[in-house]
Structure 1
């Protein structure tokens, strides 16, 4: 509630006074007064007196024209209540008709304005209590002299705001005829500081109320700010501080507010110049960098003036038809988005192009916000039906009949998250399957950061979705597991567990032989990783420290089903578990609708010595492995990739102390980064990109070129398009490849630096001297060196493991290996002579930490040795 309400009863041409009043709260105008002369930032209440003949429609018209509230007499309020929202109505009452207010009327308004003969604080306080929960304002019928600050303060104490005619307000010092606006506004403020100053938070307008800094104000500084509209504060050392007087970083004050306790102020300002902070930053808190729409607006405003030739933003500014097409294209993509990630992503794209249109037309975000505020004030609403050209029925191909053709060029953006693959509309079947290109030398730091981004993985949301499934399996065991398998995998099972021996007769000979070769290579490489010998180190005479490896006893291996059969994953997880010597190996994989498991996976389970196969997928399989059921053994660690449901379930159970289960690593969509120079074979490069892109529509594919000409890049793109069309999973590729990016660099060092920042799951080096480049690789799951090392080899049979960190986790995690299935235990053996040397050191450190029992455990032995 405002400290006071100014009732405009003077000439609306008194711009200085009205501007000052608009900075501290709403202005009250008569319904017969025009608001055209009010300051742009003014909020207005419209006062409808008791002798007015306005109708309900005319009241609504006043609100539609931008009035924040209407102050209505009782008779008119009864007609409007129920038609207009309560927060838009104040009830005008005379003292005599307060008792005529029913509960319906009271609940249909946001507050009251009571006309009284005079200001009697105690009498008015009783009305305030009667209208508890509503804002209460009081208008004395005849006040020949201005109210005192103590009167305003007393009314505030009674939760009542005084309505003061503007004829009694002034910007000059308070006298017997008028009260200074600042004196009235600050009548209720208090300070607990010895110097009497008021803490003042300065926030940015219109950037979401972003805090710029903390300063102090005084009566004098607030008075000057109200009059000048500039940021003026009180320096604790130097007196009045006119912000920007010397630096040029001035402030235009939009609003001054008291806090709820009336002991602090907030100034909402438009900050000019370098910024609020003396370090020439936008804010004193943190780096002060603008984010979101505010940052984008500033970037676009800068690019409008100085965008480099050939830049995408300059193209948009100079080609209205391109900008128009992009806005329509992105609006259509937003309408088609399904998941929360997709909607956020497409909305961001649309806002980028829409704001570009605004900046090109000289429209700011604050202009847009004012328009939104005006629209929000409207009570009368249109039907909101789409215009005929936008209400055409969607054709059988899924495309609107009025769909526009659009360019493939996008501004820098992260790869888009995607839903499950769906058929591509026939009308787009001939569109090139191509990637998006960026020149690293022409991108800003923020644009480069965007290129490194993956889709946002909303782990908390997914964990919330899988928790009920996990809880059901934990509590009801096999019954819940079988129910979820029937629901999600469409398989009706009587038991979810298979024990050896496993049936493998269906397997073709060539597939069996290929698996055997892959098994031998992977086994050989992982067997070499086993920690064979116990590590022993004598750290000082008589003190021997040891470390030895032991297998994790029980492990669960998740082998996805989904859009592809993955016996290779069963090999990659099962072999290191076998080599490490894990006693119990439970392989979980989704069953086919008939309840069977693919013969390839069954054969691998037999090769790796799996102790059981769990016919289940998703979060229910993870839960069964983590907690165990009547038939499913509980495991100590869960390995394997999976969709976001599997990943979320793994993250959930690893944090549950009741589960006591670990996981291999966080996971995200599969990804590859290929670095190629002029020696590359375009067909090889394209094949490598496509081999990863076919995993799913959310696969992350990046090509980093080193001094490649546009013609050479075009050869690679042509190969991508040609090869993709010949593949069976072309519908997936039509969705994953357009989300993929080409990053142009000018040296191998620059390319590898980008790759290390990206930290890809798979890194492929198509370079003239690829082996030499490996030394510069710092972050990658697995590296494929040279033109004849396709990622497919590592995926299947070269010997390295294909269960690798994704989503940038290659910075912190290794891929799955034999050591992943082992734990290392340390031991120490201290002789009597060793304790004589080590003991005093240990006792001293224990005393230092205040742990007397630790020190005693050493000293009691030393004493025994001394007596021996």
Structure 2
């Protein structure tokens, strides 16, 4: 049930409306039927309250005050629920749905005496809990019923929430009342409180202000919302407030004739669409233009939803026939069926999903569809700059408080209380518990293969070149002394990242290798697989922390964590933001491996490719996350082959544990059809994928065509998984198109190179004059003089030389 959190407005509702003491409190406005003389008076107050309250309900002290017909009119025009303290006549019960009638206890009647305090008391008497701490599990949602997070309430916090009309909860970690937004500014206006069917769990519906509900700055505790119509509304409001000259949306706001015409056009195209995919496409277009008209006129999506709700609540319905002019208007379905309608034209421009919408299928576009290809290869927007206001305080805390900040932040973000933030080598046997012999053998094989490949990259001798007689130049490597390797952890186990970073660091000869990985909530330890790899590569310690705090600890150092010279490893957006911050801070003097983005794969396949192999390669990447990018470039693929690939993708996907993630990823993944192999490789080089898989005949012949890629997987029997774990190449690769500029992690990633030169008297004679000439024109006489003095003492300076 939805509990009314507002007192009755009573007989003097007009004065209450004028003063607006209740309107600001939103929620469910409960009005007293005895305060009104007629049905029209009630309708008047409904209209007054409708824009400010989610619900308007009526306390009915005597059923005979209104006839059944009058009550039906009220229920059809805005009254959400009838509160009654007696049984309604049978004819009323036969007509009015039971869900629209609620009994009020006799203890709070007559209705005119009902107050906020009395409603609160009734409410507290209704709820119960079997928790030992006496708290109530509380789900918090926004006004669009989207979940923001899970919290807990006490009886006292509920009383305060109802009295103050704001989000007030109970903090278990601090063991005190928690007023949401009191310190962060992310306040909440309470709209309503619901009780579940067992009366032991609550739902707070709130209007959330500020950056979001979560302390991490996201809109919800489960990350940022996947926007739909609400996201579109947000974007359009932003466009209206911050007009971008030349943008199409801004043009619509300023040209009502164009906007109205587009709505009619898109509505017509929706009626002409035939397939599920066309219908979805055309409806999306219509929603966009309709929302633009709403925003242009100050109408919110919530206003629309309120009207939908009230129409849904109507007890009687009108017949609903269409106007004659629309019924007599000729339909365009025949034109569409013949390939001449708007929907058919769009279908020709961009082939879309093959098969039913409920299947996990990729979109399909032709390489000639420039806009379709552009959309397919456009990477998700990075939000690093948006989260810096959250990352900066974390970094500052670690810099100023050291180990104590690490312990505090690990408790806050990982839910683990540590006595010390660092695990020192040699690692005790307890940290290897649960590690099987099979896993050890698998890790050992992978470590050895990665070691072999990276050891082969090691430059054994200095590069020495005589550029002129007597002028010897050389270049030689030196290991970066201290490196910090970030290994994502928590609920995930990623020993592969540990070995892909730890082995090359060991091969390069780094003097100190520091791991950082968040501890598990279950026992406060990192996974034994990661500890095993750390011991094998000679890591000196493991920092028991994740996120921005781990990066800050390694970049600046703490009492227990040594300051490192370079930080490497993947991570979430907070890790990425912290890495970008420290590499630009001269106080840190710390470099990083490369910019990071979501993982991605591009597969080039031809008609002879095994569809099961192709599908498995696509899905092995799709399961990384919903923002991963999966692209298949098909060379002369037939419709039959594409259908077989789609079916294989669906068949394999539904058997995967992470199918929900896969489904969302594949929804924005694409098959791009092209005609030639050079065209396919040109498309791949422009995209510069992290992983490039070649499922084509004589795949090795085409490797020379690859200019930009993190790593190439050549042939039908080379899945990406092999490179991720055991083949020997490194899986830490450039994403987001950075394969144009960056290499994947390798031995030289853990080295820097020093050059040297040695010049003899003969060499000085050969290059000295050139040096002095260039120095003179640059006006650097000190440079010129350093050579002139030497040549003069050697008797090499010409007598006529100035």
Give the TM-score band, short-chain normalised: 0.5 to 0.7
Are the structure 2 counterparts of residues 508 and 850 from structure 1 closer, same or farther at C-alpha, using a change threshold of 3 Å? Answer: same
Shift in Å, 1:624: 0.4
Partner residue of 2:417 out of 492, 514, 530: 492
Correspondence list, 1:255-274, <5 A: none
**CA deviation string 1:672-722 (max 9, x = no partner):** 111111111111111111111111122111111111112211111111111
Correspondence list, 1:813-832, <5 A: 813-832=742-761
Q: Is the 8 A contact 1:410 1:436 kept in 2?
A: no
Partner residue of 1:764 out of 671, 693, 698: 693
Matched, 1:737 2:662: no
Shift in Å, 1:810: 0.7
- Structure 2 counterpart of 1:432: 359
Are the structure 2 counterparts of residues 634 and 844 from structure 1 closer, same or farther at C-alpha, using a change threshold of 3 Å? Answer: same
Shift in Å, 1:356: 6.6
Measured in 2, the distance between the counterparts of 1:789 and 1:391 equals 58
- Structure 2 counterpart of 1:57: none
Are the structure 2 counterparts of residues 585 and 315 from structure 1 closer, same or farther at C-alpha, using a change threshold of 3 Å? Answer: farther
Matched, 1:479 2:479: no
Are the structure 2 counterparts of residues 314 and 545 from structure 1 closer, same or farther at C-alpha, using a change threshold of 3 Å? Answer: farther
Q: What root-mean-square deviation, in Å, do the aligned CA atoms of Structure 1 and Structure 2 show?
A: 3.6
Matched, 1:466 2:391: yes
Correspondence list, 1:236-385, <5 A: 318-319=272-273, 326=280, 352-354=285-287, 375=297
- Structure 1 counterpart of 2:18: none
Correspondence list, 1:617-766, <5 A: 617-766=546-695
Matched, 1:793 2:725: no
Q: Is the 8 A contact 1:412 1:451 kept in 2?
A: no
Q: Is the 8 A contact 2:267 2:286 kept in 1?
A: no
- Structure 1 counterpart of 2:439: 511
- Structure 1 counterpart of 2:376: 451
Shift in Å, 1:520: 0.9
Are the structure 2 counterparts of residues 689 and 327 from structure 1 closer, same or farther at C-alpha, using a change threshold of 3 Å? Answer: closer
Q: Is the 8 A contact 1:653 1:659 kept in 2?
A: yes
Structure 1 stretch displaced more, 486-495 or 460-469 = 460-469
Measured in 2, the distance between the counterparts of 1:797 and 1:607 equals 16
Are the structure 2 counterparts of residues 372 and 640 from structure 1 closer, same or farther at C-alpha, using a change threshold of 3 Å? Answer: closer
Larger CA Rg, structure 1 vs 2: 1
Shift in Å, 1:450: 2.5
Measured in 2, the distance between the counterparts of 1:775 and 1:544 equals 35
Q: Is the 8 A contact 2:273 2:279 kept in 1?
A: no
Q: Is the 8 A contact 2:490 2:519 kept in 1?
A: no
Q: Is the 8 A contact 2:364 2:671 kept in 1?
A: yes
Normalising by structure 1, we get a TM-score of: 0.55
Measured in 2, the distance between the counterparts of 1:861 and 1:314 equals 88
Shift in Å, 1:326: 3.5
- Structure 2 counterpart of 1:387: 307
**CA deviation string 1:628-655 (max 9, x = no partner):** 0000010000011111111111000000
Give the number of the structure whose residues are more often helix, by fraction: 2
Q: Is the 8 A contact 1:626 1:634 kept in 2?
A: yes
Measured in 1, the distance between the counterparts of 2:456 and 2:397 equals 42
SS at 1:844 equivalent = helix
Measured in 2, the distance between the counterparts of 1:660 and 1:797 equals 34
Correspondence list, 1:134-153, <5 A: none
- Structure 2 counterpart of 1:547: 475
Q: Is the 8 A contact 1:317 1:356 kept in 2?
A: no
Shift in Å, 1:562: 4.9
Shift in Å, 1:447: 3.9
Shift in Å, 1:328: 9.9
Structure 2: give runs of 5+ residues left out of the alignment: 1-239, 314-342, 798-802
Shift in Å, 1:737: 1.6
Are the structure 2 counterparts of residues 731 and 208 from structure 1 closer, same or farther at C-alpha, using a change threshold of 3 Å? Answer: closer
Measured in 1, the distance between the counterparts of 2:742 and 2:252 equals 34
Matched, 1:526 2:454: yes
Measured in 1, the distance between the counterparts of 2:268 and 2:743 equals 43
Normalising by structure 2, we get a TM-score of: 0.59
SS at 2:657 equivalent = coil
How many residues of Structure 1 are paired with residues of Structure 2 in the alignment? Answer: 511
SS at 2:434 equivalent = coil
**CA deviation string 1:331-386 (max 9, x = no partner):** xxxxxxxxxxxxxxxxxxx5x5445779xxxxxx9xx5xx977x46x9xxx97761
Correspondence list, 1:405-444, <5 A: 431-441=358-368, 443-444=369-370
Are the structure 2 counterparts of residues 317 and 448 from structure 1 closer, same or farther at C-alpha, using a change threshold of 3 Å? Answer: farther
Measured in 1, the distance between the counterparts of 2:406 and 2:242 equals 48
Are the structure 2 counterparts of residues 844 and 489 from structure 1 closer, same or farther at C-alpha, using a change threshold of 3 Å? Answer: same
- Structure 1 counterpart of 2:777: 848
SS at 1:638 equivalent = strand
Measured in 1, the distance between the counterparts of 2:613 and 2:646 equals 12
SS at 2:728 equivalent = coil
- Structure 2 counterpart of 1:569: 497
Shift in Å, 1:325: 5.5
Shift in Å, 1:459: 2.3
Structure 1: give runs of 5+ residues left out of the alignment: 1-205, 212-288, 306-311, 330-349, 359-364, 394-406, 416-428
**CA deviation string 1:823-863 (max 9, x = no partner):** 00000111122112211111111111111111111111122
Are the structure 2 counterparts of residues 776 and 392 from structure 1 closer, same or farther at C-alpha, using a change threshold of 3 Å? Answer: farther
Measured in 2, the distance between the counterparts of 1:867 and 1:677 equals 69
Shift in Å, 1:463: 2.4
Measured in 2, the distance between the counterparts of 1:686 and 1:701 equals 11
Q: Is the 8 A contact 1:317 1:323 kept in 2?
A: no
**CA deviation string 1:374-433 (max 9, x = no partner):** x46x9xxx977611358879xxxxxxxxxxxxx9x99999x9xxxxxxxxxxxxx99312
Are the structure 2 counterparts of residues 317 and 772 from structure 1 closer, same or farther at C-alpha, using a change threshold of 3 Å? Answer: farther
**CA deviation string 1:139-177 (max 9, x = no partner):** xxxxxxxxxxxxxxxxxxxxxxxxxxxxxxxxxxxxxxx
Q: Is the 8 A contact 1:618 1:646 kept in 2?
A: yes
Measured in 2, the distance between the counterparts of 1:454 and 1:651 equals 19
Matched, 1:613 2:542: yes
Shift in Å, 1:864: 1.6
SS at 1:828 equivalent = strand
Are the structure 2 counterparts of residues 387 and 295 from structure 1 closer, same or farther at C-alpha, using a change threshold of 3 Å? Answer: closer
Q: Is the 8 A contact 1:326 1:353 kept in 2?
A: no
Are the structure 2 counterparts of residues 511 and 743 from structure 1 closer, same or farther at C-alpha, using a change threshold of 3 Å? Answer: same
SS at 2:680 equivalent = helix
